[in-house]
Amino acid sequence: MLTVALPKGRIAEQTLEIFAQIFGGEFKFEGRELILDMGEFRFLNVRNQDVPTYVEHGAADIGVVGLDVITEKELDIIQLLDMQLGKCKVAIGIKNEDELDWSRPNIKVATKMVNITKNYFAKKAVGVEVVKLYGSIELAPLVGLADAIVDIVETGSTMRENGLKVAEDIMDSSAHLIANKNSFYAKKEEILSLYEKIKEVVQRDAQY
Ligand code: PRP
């Protein structure tokens, strides 16, 4: 039996679709249920940011989560596979009329991703004051809470519709399959067999 933590929403649906392709049957959370038992698998429906917590604590053996979250949380987990789902970028955004002035002594940045932001500015040897927010990050520069944001850009429409532009890309992200370290050794055959099957589907889909 493998417990799989999935991030609520499209990535969970797409991952369950991969399981349906591999094993047949309907893999779907009904209504607001948080646990789905299907054969040898138990799926947990959790918030994106919480997936690594379930996996790190061993409440889930494996999980699917964005590389941005893995990088931000500096997790002690095993990264198995890029699922090629939910592709996006982490980028610096500023107002359309602004330029990012790297020569300033200190730049004020609003973000959910405090560590990614601090590391990026440290690499550039530029001082940064990070303002931690939990959502609607694009608002911050519009009302003078920050000079810039560091946030996820997928289609780009949130930035565009709020008069912001990408000043610089920080990293590419996509959903990755991760495993708890102890589970990986205790259930190695089960996990590797599933990994091989998922890899086959992901690689086949990547050809189209
Ligand atoms: C994410 C992200 C951006 C938006 C980017 O927010 O923080 O705001 O999606 O997507 P786009 O480039 O396709 O417009 P989310 O919808 O997760 O909401 P949040 O503000 O609560 O984080």
Mean pLDDT computed over 4-31: 95
Please give the pLDDT value at position 105. 87
Residue 206 has pLDDT above 90, yes or no: no
* DSSP H or E run through 10: helix 10-23
Work out which ligand 1 atom sits closest to the CA atom of 48. Answer: 17
Going from the Cα of 64 to the center of ligand 1, the distance in angstroms, rounded, reads: 18
What is residue 74's predicted lDDT score, i.e. its pLDDT?
Answer: 87
User: How many A from CA of 154 to the centre of ligand 1?
Assistant: 8
What would the two tokens of residue 73 be?
């949380």
- Backbone φ, ψ for residue 52 (5° rounding): -60, -30
Q: Which residues line ligand 1 (CB under 6 A)?
A: 135-138, 151-158
Q: Ligand 1: which residue has its CA nearest to atom 5?
A: 153
Q: How far is the CA of 38 from the centre of ligand 1 (A)?
A: 31
pLDDT in tens, 145-165: 999 999 999 999 999 999 999
Query: pTM of the full predicted structure?
Result: 0.93
Of ligand 1's listed atoms, the one at least distance from the Cα of 136 is 20
The alpha carbon of 81 and the centre of ligand 1 are apart by a number of angstroms equal to 24
The predicted-structure confidence for 41-96, as pLDDT tens digits, reads as follows: 999 999 999 999 999 999 999 999 999 999 999 889 999 999 999 999 999 999 99
pLDDT of residue 32: 92
pLDDT surpassing 80 at residue 208: no
CA of 158 to the centre of ligand 1 (A): 7
pLDDT in tens, 116-136: 999 999 999 999 999 999 999
| pLDDT at residue 48 in the model | 93
Measure Cα distances from 138 to 44, 112, 141 in Å.
30, 11, 7
Mutate which of 8, 111, 133, 154 for ligand 1 pocket (most atoms within 8 A of beta carbon): 154
- What does the mean pLDDT of the chain come to? 96
Enumerate the domain spans of the chain.
2-86+174-207, 88-173
In ligand 1, the atom with minimum distance to the C-alpha of 88 is: 12
Q: What percent of the chain has pLDDT over 90?
A: 94
Sheet holding 164-179, edge to edge: 35-38, 41-46, 2-7, 62-66, 164-179, 78-95, 148-153, 106-111, 127-132
Same fold, 2-86+174-207 and 88-173: yes
CATH T-level topology, domain 2-86+174-207: D-Maltodextrin-Binding Protein; domain 2 (3.40.190)
Token representation of residue 171: 């990293």
- Level-2 CATH architecture, domain 88-173: 3-Layer(aba) Sandwich (3.40)
Region 172-199: mean pLDDT is 98
pLDDT category at 205 given cuts 50, 70, 90 is: confident
Q: What is the mean pLDDT of residues 7-26?
A: 96
Quick one: pLDDT band at residue 207, thresholds 50, 70, 90?
A: confident
